[in-house]
């Protein structure tokens, strides 16, 4: 089980491979403009897909089918045999999460025929069926998590999930509820979308930072026990903050004009001028003078991709031992806020929205203050000032989807790129808010012209292709059927974001 | 222990000598054969007594006899002669050749000696003297070119390098293709450490590495070449059918030297070697560091040209040193009554051409032959071996690549601070971001192996009656290896946060095997019958304890205690204090029935029943037949019988089946360690298969043998065809929908065919002058004839050394193919050009881009003899076969290859624009590129460009010039009987169209599976030219 937990982020099972959300997150974060590369020419900065024989963006595929794969099946089977219902429940909970993460990345996936060790080729299933399965497995997970007695025991479960929920089945239940809420929230463009379903499950879900689903790290100096984005793993050397996130937090974005976000020195890096600036995708230093160029997330100069020996100069999720959030209470609150707003309950929406920001600030203060320059540490007064600033938290009547999605964008910065990508795709990156007529992701400029990858045929990215070395060598017939052979398959919109 | 044994023998020696001086009359003489040629090593016995003597190189002998006794002169290939002793003191004997036994006897499977006439398959024999004469310490390297159908691929020219051996091409795609080694009837281990441990479940290193930048001796190389009397090569499965699945890739039978008489003999020889590395990939030196014409502190040379005044260093020359080696061999024969002993020892001490690369080997062997009573013969032996190998890294991460691209303005000798000993910075203040100076690399990224080995064997022959013989061969072979590999904390190859890594391992091998056979013979009229039954038991256990860790607290020690405790990773069972084990047990019984008619028609049938521990219970027992027919046409067809042209003509054919086994434990998916926080276990990559069945191999062989012009010319030709069905494919990839990454199945089939021709001639055979000639021709072709339809490529991961080229296998393609990236082309075959930058579009798909299999190979050996001079030389010719020159691709991308010399010449890449009309109305490319200013021109070049097609070589492998000193100068030195001085040169001449250093390359070690890494060149050090000189004497 620790291995399965580790797999959320980036496992290090056999042969030290790194499968998981954080690995593909490096590229998905480029799609959503969390990160960009410090030099031009990165395919993913250009919203390109994996090309040739590359396994890029195939890490979640490997996480689901191999990393968790038979291990989860075995865990569930053993749990059943030994009547450890909590293990069975946790197994299903993780599987529900994993199906959802998988399909949101790839769209059509192998579901009915998955985990057949003797089979040579595999058929794909529709995304709708996968969404239904997520909920079915989620309910199964809840049934078992609710089942006490026999050999279910907190102490024994904690042996498995010490670095996650430490044996607390109630937290696992909340995890499942929030996964269910996500599955309903993702369908906001559909006629059958019901905000009440989101609200019902989100209220039962993760609503306190203490319940956050977070992968923790033993940080013993080997890759497997280290955060994927820390210097030991050496995966974030060339990543820099984008202009988009920098401007959202330094007051240059039109939605939050003039407001300096107190969280900026936690999440982002200053330059030698002491200001927060970011780069544009595929533009390298983007014309910033040297003194304006942001440091690397490890505190190195802009041009250096090198990992420092020690992580004292690192902050946030970029330290070797920093916990890596999977789902936070803050995200759950923003889901609630969106659903309330869509339902028309503006006052509840505003409350949830403010709670989302507040929980995020608390979360940063608790887990990520290490390395932040002392004058930049958030005081309670700074938090209050921020939350009472009407530019940030407007009156209920003026709260817009744009506020919610942008604050959610900030709150999920650096770790929640998978969910942010779902959100952005729901709004087709640049959709206008029908009620206000302004772009929901205010000021967002998507790559175009030579900054948009050549294979995209001028379209934005909507999915990742399945892992090359799993599918493109051995499952060609089925890929051909679903159209995955096309070079612009990465631009094919998925079912979940369609009307 | 060894010390005590040595002393014991020294004490016994005088006693043995004493017994020899009690005889009565001394008789001298000379034994000659046709044309008055001396017959050496002929046995001279006294009829009815065990005592015997042997003739020396000049055919001369001395023996003590009493009057009236009868001397028996015998030698293999000659008719024995008896002479009664009267008053003579000199007896000269002329022996006549035994036509029926001209080739002597050959050793076949199960250590059974047979007359070559009756064999329905091809066997080839190499004399121990020829092997020793090459002075190659790894004796398998001396076999190249001497046997048709045998291919040796040494991993590199480093001291202690491994060599992989393949007989008759590649049959198995994912299992070993190495033959079985049998010494005096005992199976002896020839594993190389395979660094892959499959997530800790295997017997590789704890860091689970891919056999690319380290090397481990192939263990058969532990044998002292001077102990070898001869080597017999059994190529096809018909020949090895009796050895079963372990010999499905053929068998190499080694017969060691044994004392044949009680006569005291002492031999000593030595050899001193100087080696020099002379072959390097070509590089250019006129450009400074930079990218796209702009200076930069990078290891690329696309900066401006150096000015005339820039001081440049010849770093390649500064780096290598002359290799030095010396060998001393001593052999002693002695005996007591019916017990004959041979004691031999050898010391080999080599300093390689690469600094800090050394190899030492010590051998000691004692063998004995004792006759008990009339019927029983016992042949025990024991050998003790110790090797020590100081190793440096090779290929990726090795010194060679960084040496080739080291800035030539920088003197390579300045690599460490003379005071602190720290790595000197070149471009970066962070030492881990700075390439390792090759000197820093070889002194700091180091490895070492120490092996202690003991092999004991016992042979028993019982011949109670003239028609029945019983043989037993029992052997126990065991060794321990202790080794490490260390990456220095400041090395480029580890990140600064890792602070160095250290891999330690302790490997133990113990193998026991025995074969017991009983043979009965009966002659009825013109028919002869032979029946044999036997049993074989094999039990091989390899164990590994391995640990890896980082954050080294010391750079002086290589003990794993210097790694940070929390960073240590072990193999799975090592966590419980136990070794990881791999045990293979196999039990077999077998039989043979043979009938012959008038010594000219031979029909043979064998059958073997085998049970192997590696297979699931239901598939564990299997059996296979073998059959052969041999016709001596020259006897059968009357007019040929006394022909002057055709003295001997044999036609033979054989068919056989055999099996090949899976790796132990590949029938069950297992958990491996999980190194995530909290640890625990998870499934490894591998989907094991509980339904696995043995791989089936069936072969037929057709051959003919001629001896023409009164045995002046020998010609032998063989065609073989091997079908491998239901191949056990381990580690092949499928959709992860299986729940795994790698799979294990009986999946593919291959067909492997070949033609072997051997032509030999004793051209001139006069008393003063002789010329012998032998030629071995080999041509093979092979094909993957079945693979699951959805698997577009199966590859051996080890071969994916560099860039995008690897040993991939494709349905319908050859088994030796190279797959890689190439140019994207339109339907017309024109290269497509990217309209935005004028560079070709690379097709990023692994397609077959080359075939490593040569068109043919040819070994030509000539031996001349003139009076006291001897001259032997062996040419090794290879025609065809492709090589992926990864080194060249690396040097091209770095701006060091001659290909980049004309970088300032503007050019238009020939092709058509990829503008959507490439197939309908193609637009020819007109975009001008100046590579110097856009170095992507070079880095964009796909692997297809670096696969060199039809690489040929002509190589003078071994050249020996020897002179036997006349007796005169040593009259006064008592005891010296012969004294010869020699000069042997290895790899003196290499002519090739290959642009790299040496086309005989192997990107992986002998530990790699399947077809392995031959024909993949990436930073491999070629074999140096070696001059060996020394003397050979006997007392």
What is the mean pLDDT of the segment spanning B26-34? 82
- Nearest-Cα residue of chain A relative to residue B691: A118
Among the partner residues A66, A163, A224, nearest to B675 by beta-carbon distance: A224
Give B310 or B359, the one with higher predicted confidence.
B359
Say whether both B258 and B329 belong to one domain. yes
A432 located within any domain: no
Q: Touching check for B550 and chain A: CB below 8 Å?
A: yes
Say whether both B35 and B151 belong to one domain. no
Distances from the Cα of A375 to the Cα of A266, B138, B164, angstroms: 12, 69, 66
Instruction: Find out whether B517 and B114 touch, Cβ atoms under 8 Å.
Output: no
Query: How far off is chain B from A479, nearest CA to CA, in Å?
Result: 11
Residues of A17-30 as b/e, b for ≥16 C-beta within 10 angstroms?
A: bbbbbbbbbbbbbb
- Nearest-Cα residue of chain A relative to residue B568: A222
Cβ-based neighbours of A258, under 8 Å, separated by 6 or more: A251, A391
pLDDT digits (tens, 9 = 90+) for B771-823: 999 999 999 999 999 888 878 788 888 888 888 999 988 889 999 999 999 99
Residue from A9, A13, A320 whose CB has the most chain B CBs within 10 Å, to mutate? A13
pLDDT digits (tens, 9 = 90+) for B1015-1026: 999 988 888 999
Instruction: Find out whether A146 and A173 touch, Cβ atoms under 8 Å.
Output: yes
Q: What pLDDT is stored for residue A4 in this prediction? A: 65
Per-residue pLDDT of chain A (499 residues; tens, 9 = 90+): 666 665 555 544 433 346 888 899 999 999 999 999 998 889 999 999 998 778 899 999 998 998 888 888 989 999 999 999 999 999 999 999 999 999 999 999 999 999 988 888 899 999 999 999 999 999 999 999 999 889 999 999 998 888 899 999 999 999 999 999 999 999 999 999 999 999 999 999 999 999 999 999 888 877 788 889 999 888 999 999 999 999 999 999 999 999 999 999 999 999 999 999 999 999 989 999 999 999 999 999 998 888 888 899 999 999 999 999 999 999 999 999 999 999 999 999 999 999 999 999 999 999 999 999 999 999 999 999 999 999 999 999 999 999 999 999 999 999 999 999 999 999 999 999 988 999 999 999 999 988 999 889 899 999 999 999 888 888 888 999 999 988 899 999 999 999 8
Tell whether the model's pLDDT for residue B7 goes beyond 60.
no
Name B311's bridge partners: none
Say whether both A301 and A375 belong to one domain. yes
CATH value at residue B86: 2.60.40.1120
Q: What pLDDT is stored for residue B202 in this prediction? A: 86
Task: Dig out the tokens for B609 from the structure.
Answer: 């029943």
Q: What pLDDT is stored for residue A413 in this prediction? A: 97
Say whether both A471 and A406 belong to one domain. no
Query: How far off is chain B from A20, nearest CA to CA, in Å?
Result: 12
Q: For residue B673, list chain A residues with Cβ-Cβ distance below 8 A.
A: 13
Q: What pLDDT is stored for residue B13 in this prediction? A: 46
Contact assignment for B739 to A221 by CB distance below 8 Å: no
Taking one residue from A and the other from B, the number of pairs with CB-CB distance under 8 angstroms is 199
Say whether both A195 and A239 belong to one domain. no
Residue from A117, A125, A469 whose CB has the most chain B CBs within 10 Å, to mutate? A117
User: What is the secondary structure of A473-490 as a DSSP string?
Assistant: TT-HHHHHHHTTTSTTGG
The beta-carbon contacts of A153-158 under 8 Å, at least 24 apart in sequence, are A153/A84, A153/A86, A154/A86, A156/A84, A156/A86, A157/A84, A157/A86, A157/A87, A157/A90
Say whether both B339 and B221 belong to one domain. yes
Least confident of A112-116, B2-6, B801-805, B1009-1013: B2-6
What confidence category does residue B104 fall into, taking pLDDT thresholds of 50, 70 and 90?
A: low
Cβ-based neighbours of A390, under 8 Å, separated by 6 or more: none
B439 located within any domain: no
- The secondary structure of chain B in percent helix, strand, coil, rounded to multiples of 5, reads 15, 45, 40
Say whether both A351 and A297 belong to one domain. yes
User: For chain B, what is the mean pLDDT?
Assistant: 88
Contact assignment for A475 to B790 by CB distance below 8 Å: yes
Say whether both A236 and A185 belong to one domain. no
Say whether both A272 and A389 belong to one domain. yes
Q: For residue B821, list chain A residues with Cβ-Cβ distance below 8 A.
A: 52-53
Angle at A12 between CA A9 and CA A17, to 5 degrees: 100
Q: What pLDDT is stored for residue A14 in this prediction? A: 39
Q: For residue A117, list chain B residues with Cβ-Cβ distance below 8 A.
A: 669, 687, 738-740, 743
The alpha helices in A149-273, defined as continuous H runs, are 154-161, 169-185, 195-204, 243-250, 264-267
Say whether both B532 and B487 belong to one domain. yes
Dihedral of CA atoms A385, A390, A393, A396 in degrees, nearest 10, equals 140
Sheet strands side by side (includes B52-54): B52-54, B43-46, B70-74, B81-84
Distances from the Cα of B330 to the Cα of B82, B336, B539, angstroms: 34, 20, 33
What is the mean pLDDT of the segment spanning B717-726? 92
What is the SS3 assignment for A107?
coil
Contact assignment for A217 to B677 by CB distance below 8 Å: yes
pLDDT digits (tens, 9 = 90+) for B487-501: 999 999 888 878 899
d(CA B1031, CA B964): 9
pLDDT digits (tens, 9 = 90+) for B554-573: 988 999 999 998 888 898 88
Say whether both A38 and A71 belong to one domain. yes
Question: Is residue A258 classed exposed, middle or buried when 0-12, 13-18 and 19+ CB atoms within 10 A define those classes?
Answer: exposed
Q: What pLDDT is stored for residue B50 in this prediction? A: 64
What is the SS3 assignment for B222?
helix
Q: What pLDDT is stored for residue B1 in this prediction? A: 45
Say whether both B138 and B88 belong to one domain. no
Contact assignment for A5 to B685 by CB distance below 8 Å: no
Contact assignment for A13 to B682 by CB distance below 8 Å: yes
Q: Touching check for B566 and chain A: CB below 8 Å?
A: yes
Q: Touching check for B795 and chain A: CB below 8 Å?
A: no
Q: For residue A108, list chain B residues with Cβ-Cβ distance below 8 A.
A: none
A444 located within any domain: no
What confidence category does residue B19 fall into, taking pLDDT thresholds of 50, 70 and 90?
A: very low
Say whether both A195 and A308 belong to one domain. no
Say whether both B212 and B72 belong to one domain. no
Contact assignment for A117 to B738 by CB distance below 8 Å: yes
Interface of B with A in 230-289 (CB under 8 A): none
B43 located within any domain: yes
pLDDT digits (tens, 9 = 90+) for B140-182: 999 988 998 898 888 888 888 888 898 888 888 888 888 999 9
Instruction: Find out whether B438 and B402 touch, Cβ atoms under 8 Å.
Output: yes
Contact assignment for A53 to B198 by CB distance below 8 Å: no
Q: What pLDDT is stored for residue A9 in this prediction? A: 54
Q: What pLDDT is stored for residue B680 in this prediction? A: 76
Say whether both A293 and A397 belong to one domain. yes
Query: How far off is chain B from A453, nearest CA to CA, in Å?
Result: 12
Q: What pLDDT is stored for residue A408 in this prediction? A: 98
- Nearest-Cα residue of chain A relative to residue B683: A71
What ipTM score was computed for the predicted complex, to two decimals? 0.86
Q: What pLDDT is stored for residue B1025 in this prediction? A: 94
What is the SS3 assignment for A292?
helix
Tell whether the model's pLDDT for residue B890 goes beyond 80.
yes
Q: What pLDDT is stored for residue A243 in this prediction? A: 97
Say whether both B703 and B745 belong to one domain. yes
Q: For residue A54, list chain B residues with Cβ-Cβ distance below 8 A.
A: 844
What confidence category does residue B10 fall into, taking pLDDT thresholds of 50, 70 and 90?
A: very low
Tell whether the model's pLDDT for residue B101 goes beyond 50.
no
- Nearest-Cα residue of chain A relative to residue B566: A220
A365 located within any domain: yes
Give A426 or B209, the one with higher predicted confidence.
A426
* Count of positions (residues) in chain B: 1035
Structurally, chain A folds into a number of domains equal to: 2
Q: Where are the beta strands (DSSP E) in B438-500?
A: 446-462, 468-487
Contact assignment for A122 to B735 by CB distance below 8 Å: yes
Q: For residue B569, list chain A residues with Cβ-Cβ distance below 8 A.
A: 222
Q: Residue A125 is part of which domain span?
A: 2-207+454-497
Contact assignment for B674 to A122 by CB distance below 8 Å: no
Residue after which a domain boundary falls, among B73, B97, B121: B97
Q: What pLDDT is stored for residue B474 in this prediction? A: 96
Q: Touching check for B297 and chain A: CB below 8 Å?
A: no
Residue after which a domain boundary falls, among B69, B97, B125: B97
- Nearest-Cα residue of chain B relative to residue A60: B736
Contact assignment for B739 to A69 by CB distance below 8 Å: yes
Q: For residue A313, list chain B residues with Cβ-Cβ distance below 8 A.
A: none
Give B77 or B198, the one with higher predicted confidence.
B198
Say whether both A196 and A278 belong to one domain. no
- Nearest-Cα residue of chain A relative to residue B740: A66
Q: For residue A165, list chain B residues with Cβ-Cβ distance below 8 A.
A: none
Q: What pLDDT is stored for residue A209 in this prediction? A: 97
Q: Touching check for B842 and chain A: CB below 8 Å?
A: yes
Phi, psi of B927 (to 5 degrees): -75, 125
Say whether both A194 and A166 belong to one domain. yes
Q: For residue A469, list chain B residues with Cβ-Cβ distance below 8 A.
A: 733
Instruction: Find out whether A404 and A394 touch, Cβ atoms under 8 Å.
Output: no
d(CA B756, CA B147): 9
Q: What pLDDT is stored for residue B906 in this prediction? A: 95
Distances from the Cα of B834 to the Cα of B499, B689, B936, B988, angstroms: 43, 46, 12, 47
Q: What pLDDT is stored for residue B418 in this prediction? A: 87
Among the partner residues B208, B564, B736, nearest to A66 by beta-carbon distance: B736
Instruction: Find out whether B687 and B668 touch, Cβ atoms under 8 Å.
Output: no
Q: For residue A309, list chain B residues with Cβ-Cβ distance below 8 A.
A: 496-497, 499
Tell whether the model's pLDDT for residue B540 goes beyond 50.
yes
Instruction: Find out whether B279 and B1025 touch, Cβ atoms under 8 Å.
Output: no
Q: What pLDDT is stored for residue B970 in this prediction? A: 56
What is the mean pLDDT of the segment spanning B260-279? 91
Q: Touching check for B667 and chain A: CB below 8 Å?
A: no
pLDDT digits (tens, 9 = 90+) for B336-358: 888 999 999 999 999 999 999 99
How many helices and strands, by DSSP H and E, does chain B display? 9, 56
Structurally, chain B folds into a number of domains equal to: 2
- Nearest-Cα residue of chain A relative to residue B741: A66
* Count of positions (residues) in chain A: 499
Q: What pLDDT is stored for residue B61 in this prediction? A: 85
What is the mean pLDDT of the segment spanning B514-538? 93
B621 located within any domain: yes
A98 located within any domain: yes
pLDDT digits (tens, 9 = 90+) for B813-823: 999 999 999 99
Q: Touching check for B680 and chain A: CB below 8 Å?
A: yes
d(CA A280, CA A286): 6
A213 located within any domain: no
Query: How far off is chain A from B265, nearest CA to CA, in Å?
Result: 56
CATH value at residue B804: 2.40.170.20
How many helices and strands, by DSSP H and E, does chain A display? 17, 4
Contact assignment for A13 to B676 by CB distance below 8 Å: yes
Q: Residue B87 is part of which domain span?
A: 2-97
d(CA A490, CA A495): 14
Say whether both B461 and B559 belong to one domain. yes
Q: What pLDDT is stored for residue B77 in this prediction? A: 66
Residue after which a domain boundary falls, among B97, B121, B149: B97
């Amino acid at each position: 089980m620790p291995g399965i937990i580790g797999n959320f982020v980036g496992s290090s099972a056999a042969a030290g491979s790194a499968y998981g959300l954080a690995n593909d997150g490096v590229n998905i974060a480029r799609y959503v403009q969390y990160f960009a590369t410090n030099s031009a020419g990165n395919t993913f900065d250009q919203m390109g897909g994996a090309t040739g024989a590359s396994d890029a963006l195939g890490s979640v595929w490997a996480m689901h089918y191999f990393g968790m794969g038979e291990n989860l099946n075995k865990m569930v089977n053993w749990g059943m045999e030994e009547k450890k219902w909590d293990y069975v429940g946790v197994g299903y909970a993780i599987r529900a999460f994993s199906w959802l993460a998988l399909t949101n990345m790839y769209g059509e996936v192998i579901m009915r025929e998955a985990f057949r060790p003797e089979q040579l080729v595999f058929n794909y299933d529709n995304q709708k069926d996968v969404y239904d399965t997520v909920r079915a497995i989620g309910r199964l997970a809840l049934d078992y998590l609710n089942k006490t007695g026999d050999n279910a025991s907190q102490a024994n479960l904690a042996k498995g999930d010490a670095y996650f929920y430490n044996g607390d089945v109630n937290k696992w239940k909340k995890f499942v509820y929030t996964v269910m809420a996500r599955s309903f929230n993702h369908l906001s463009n559909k006629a059958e979308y019901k905000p009440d379903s989101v609200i019902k499950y989100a209220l039962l879900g993760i609503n306190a930072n203490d319940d956050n689903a977070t992968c923790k790290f033993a940080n013993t100096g080997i890759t497997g026990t280290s955060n994927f984005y820390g210097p030991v793993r050496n995966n974030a050397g060339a990543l820099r903050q984008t202009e988009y996130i920098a401007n959202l937090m330094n007051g240059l974005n039109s939605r939050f004009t003039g407001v300096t976000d107190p969280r900026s020195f936690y999440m982002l890096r200053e330059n030698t001028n002491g200001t927060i600036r970011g780069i544009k995708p595929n533009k390298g230093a983007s014309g910033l003078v040297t003194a304006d160029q942001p440091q690397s997330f490890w505190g190195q100069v802009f041009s250096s991709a090198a990992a420092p020996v020690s992580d004292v100069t690192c902050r946030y999720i970029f330290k070797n031992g920093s916990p890596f959030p999977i789902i936070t209470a803050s995200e759950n609150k923003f889901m609630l806020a969106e659903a309330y707003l869509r339902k028309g309950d503006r006052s509840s929406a505003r409350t949830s929205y403010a709670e989302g920001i507040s929980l995020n600030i608390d979360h940063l203060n608790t887990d990520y203050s290490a390395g932040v320059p002392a004058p930049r540490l958030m005081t309670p007064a700074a938090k209050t000032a921020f939350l009472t600033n009407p530019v940030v938290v407007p009156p209920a009547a003026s709260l817009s989807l744009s506020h919610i999605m942008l604050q959610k964008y900030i709150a999920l910065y650096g770790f929640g790129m998978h969910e942010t990508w779902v959100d952005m795709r729901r709004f087709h990156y640049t959709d206008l808010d029908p009620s206000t007529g302004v772009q929901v992701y205010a000021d967002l400029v998507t790559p175009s012209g030579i900054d948009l990858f050549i294979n995209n045929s001028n379209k934005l990215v909507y999915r990742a292709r399945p892992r090359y070395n799993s599918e493109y060598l051995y499952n060609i017939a089925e890929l051909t059927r679903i159209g995955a052979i096309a070079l612009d398959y990465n631009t094919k919109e998925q079912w979940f974001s369609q009307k | 222990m060894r010390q005590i044994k040595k002393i014991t023998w020294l004490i016994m020696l005088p006693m043995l000598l004493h017994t020899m001086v009690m005889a009565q009359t001394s008789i001298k003489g000379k034994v000659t054969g046709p044309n008055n040629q001396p017959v050496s090593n002929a046995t001279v016995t006294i009829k009815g007594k065990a005592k015997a003597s042997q003739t020396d190189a000049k055919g001369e002998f001395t023996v003590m006899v009493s009057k009236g006794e009868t001397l028996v002169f015998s030698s293999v290939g000659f008719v024995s002669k008896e002479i009664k002793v009267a008053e003579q003191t000199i007896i000269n004997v002329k022996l006549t050749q035994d036509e029926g036994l001209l080739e002597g006897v050959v050793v076949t499977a199960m250590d059974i000696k047979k007359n070559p006439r009756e064999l329905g398959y091809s066997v080839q024999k190499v004399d121990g003297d020829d092997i020793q004469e090459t002075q190659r310490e790894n004796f398998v390297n001396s076999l190249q070119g001497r046997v048709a159908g045998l291919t040796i691929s040494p991993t590199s020219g480093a001291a202690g390098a491994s060599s992989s051996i393949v007989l008759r091409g590649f049959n198995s795609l994912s299992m070993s293709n190495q033959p079985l080694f049998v010494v005096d009837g005992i199976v002896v281990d020839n594993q190389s450490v395979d660094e892959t441990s499959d997530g800790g479940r295997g017997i590789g290193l704890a860091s689970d590495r891919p056999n690319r930048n380290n090397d481990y001796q192939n263990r058969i190389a532990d044998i002292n070449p001077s102990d070898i009397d001869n080597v017999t090569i059994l190529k096809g499965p018909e020949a090895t059918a009796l050895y079963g699945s372990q010999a499905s890739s053929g068998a190499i039978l080694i017969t060691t030297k044994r004392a044949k008489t009680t006569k005291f003999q002492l031999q000593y020889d030595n050899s001193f070697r100087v080696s020099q590395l002379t072959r390097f990939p070509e590089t250019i030196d006129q450009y400074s560091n930079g990218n796209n014409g702009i200076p930069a502190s990078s290891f690329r040379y696309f900066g401006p040209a150096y000015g005339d005044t820039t001081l440049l260093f010849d770093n390649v020359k500064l780096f290598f040193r002359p290799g030095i080696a010396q060998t001393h061999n001593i052999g002693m024969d002695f005996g007591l009554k019916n017990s004959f002993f041979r004691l031999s020892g050898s010391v080999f001490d080599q300093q390689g051409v690469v600094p800090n690369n050394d190899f030492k080997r010590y051998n000691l062997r004692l063998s004995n032959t004792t006759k008990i009573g009339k019927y029983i013969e016992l042949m025990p032996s024991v050998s003790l071996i110790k090797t020590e190998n100081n190793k440096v890294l090779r290929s990726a991460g090795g010194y060679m690549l960084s040496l080739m691209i080291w800035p030539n303005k920088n003197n390579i000798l300045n690599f460490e601070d003379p005071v602190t000993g720290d790595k000197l910075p070149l471009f970066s203040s962070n030492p881990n971001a700075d390439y390792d100076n090759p000197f820093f690399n070889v002194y700091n990224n180091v490895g070492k192996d120490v092996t202690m080995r003991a092999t004991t064997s016992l042979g028993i022959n019982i011949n109670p009656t003239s028609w029945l013989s019983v043989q037993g061969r029992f052997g126990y072979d065991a060794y321990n290896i202790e080794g490490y590999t260390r990456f220095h904390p400041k090395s480029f190859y580890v990140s600064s946060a890792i602070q160095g890594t250290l891999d330690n391992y302790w490997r133990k091998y113990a193998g026991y095997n025995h074969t017991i056979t009983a043979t009965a013979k009966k002659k009825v009229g013109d028919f002869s019958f032979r029946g044999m039954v036997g049993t074989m038991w094999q039990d091989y256990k390899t164990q590994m304890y391995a640990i890896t860790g980082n954050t080294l607290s010391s750079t002086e020690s290589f003990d794993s205690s210097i790694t940070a405790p929390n960073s240590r990773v072990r193999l799975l069972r090592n966590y419980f204090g136990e070794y990881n084990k791999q045990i293979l047990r196999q039990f077999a019984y077998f039989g043979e029935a043979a009938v012959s008619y008038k010594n000219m028609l031979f029909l043979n049938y064998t059958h073997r029943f085998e049970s192997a521990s590696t297979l699931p219970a239901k598939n564990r027992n299997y059996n296979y037949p073998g059959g052969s027919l041999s016709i001596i046409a020259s006897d059968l067809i009357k007019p040929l019988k006394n022909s002057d042209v055709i003295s001997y003509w044999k036609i033979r054919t054989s068919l056989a089946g055999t099996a090949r086994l899976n790796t132990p434990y590949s029938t069950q998916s297992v958990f491996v360690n999980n190194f995530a926080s909290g640890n625990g276990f998870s499934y490894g990559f591998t989907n094991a298969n509980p339904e696995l069945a043995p791989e089936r191999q069936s072969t037929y062989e057709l051959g003919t043998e001629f001896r023409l012009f009164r045995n002046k010319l020998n010609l032998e030709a063989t065609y073989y065809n091997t079908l491998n069905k239901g191949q056990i494919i381990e580690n092949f990839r499928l959709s992860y929908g299986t729940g795994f990454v790698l799979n294990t199945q009986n999946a593919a089939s291959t067909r492997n065919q070949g033609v072997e021709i051997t032509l030999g001639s004793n051209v001139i055979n006069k008393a003063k002058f002789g010329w012998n000639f032998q030629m071995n021709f080999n041509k093979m072709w092979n094909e993957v004839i079945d693979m699951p339809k959805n698997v577009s490529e199966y590859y051996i991961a080890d071969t994916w050394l560099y860039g995008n080229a690897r040993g991939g296998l494709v349905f319908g393609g050859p088994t030796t193919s190279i797959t890689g990236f190439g140019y994207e082309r339109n339907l017309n075959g024109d290269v497509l050009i990217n309209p935005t930058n004028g560079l070709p579009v690379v097709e990023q798909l692994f397609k077959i881009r080359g075939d490593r299999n040569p068109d043919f190979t040819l070994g030509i050996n000539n031996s001349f003899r003139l009076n006291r001079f001897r001259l032997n030389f062996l040419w090794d010719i290879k025609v065809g076969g492709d090589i992926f020159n990864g080194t060249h691709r690396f040097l091209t991308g770095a701006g060091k290859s001659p290909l980049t010399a004309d970088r300032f010449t503007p050019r238009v890449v020939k092709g058509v624009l990829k503008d959507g009309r490439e197939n309908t109305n193609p637009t020819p490319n007109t975009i001008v590129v100046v590579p110097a200013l856009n170095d992507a021109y070079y880095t964009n070049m796909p692997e297809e460009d670096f696969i060199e097609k039809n690489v040929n070589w002509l190589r003078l492998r071994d050249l020996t010039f020897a002179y036997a000193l006349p007796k005169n100068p040593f009259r006064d030195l008592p005891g010296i009987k012969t004294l010869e001085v020699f000069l042997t040169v290895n790899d003196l001449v290499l002519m090739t169209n290959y642009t790299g250093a040496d086309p005989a390359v192997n990107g992986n070690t002998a530990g790699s599976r399947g077809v392995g890494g031959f024909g993949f060149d990436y930073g491999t050090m070629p074999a140096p030219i070696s001059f060996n000189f020394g003397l050979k004497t006997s007392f």
